[in-house]
Amino acid sequence: MVWSADGAPIMGLTGGGGSERHVDYLLTSCASANEPQRVFYVEMACNGLFGNGSYQQHPQDRAIYYRLSAAELAAPNPEAWRLFHDMEVVGEMASRLPQDTPRYWQALTAANRMINLFEHSDASTVGPARAVATEFLSAQGGDSTHQVYAIGNCHIDTAWLWPFDETKRKAARSWATQINLMEDYPEYRFAASQAQQFEWLNENYPSLFRRIQDKAQTGRFIPIGGTWVEMDCNIPSGESLVRQFLLGQRFFKHHFGETCDVFWLPDTFGYSSQLPQIVRLAGAKYFFTQKLSWNNINTFPNTTFRWVGLDGSHILTHMAPSNTYGAQCRPGELIDSVKRHKDIAYSNESLYLFGNGDGGGGPLRPMLERMRRMQSVDGLPRVKQTHPREFYEHVEKTAKDLVSWKGELYFELHRGTYTSQSNNKLWNRRSEFLLRDTELLCTIAHIQSSSGGFQFKYPSSELTRLWKLVCLNQFHDVVPGSAINMVYRDSEKMYKDVFDSAEELRRQAVAAVYGTDA
How would you class 314 by CB atoms within 10 Å of its CB: exposed for 0-12, middle for 13-18, buried for 19 or more? buried
Tell me the residue ranges of DSSP E strands in 361-477.
382-385, 404-406
In 74-197, beta strands by DSSP E: 147-152, 190-192
Q: Bridge partners of 404?
A: 306
What sign does the dihedral 326-366-262-156 (CA atoms) show?
positive
Q: Residue 490: which H helix or E strand, with range?
A: helix 485-514
For residue 180, the surrounding DSSP H or E stretch is: helix 164-184
Instruction: In whole angstroms, give the CA distance from residue 186 to residue 236.
Output: 41
Measure the CA–CA gap between 294 and 125, rounded to whole angstroms.
45
> How far does CA 304 lie from the centroid of its chain?
20
Q: Please give the order of strands across the beta sheet that includes 404-406.
A: 262-264, 286-289, 314-319, 304-308, 404-406
- The SS3 assignment for 51 reads strand
The amino acid sitting at 20 is: E
Q: Is 122 a catalytic residue?
A: no
341: nearest Cα among 293, 288, 304: 304
Note whether 194 and 266 are within 8 A (CB): no
Contact 259, 283 (CB under 8 A): yes
CB of 191 closer than 8 Å to CB of 229: no
Cα-trace Rg, the chain: 26
| Catalytic one of 86, 157, 232, 267 | 267
Count other C-beta atoms under 10 Å from residue 191's C-beta. 23
Asked whether 360 and 1 are in contact (CB, 8 A), the reply is no
| Residue 22, CB-side half-sphere exposure with 13 Å CA sphere | 26
Catalytic residues: 267
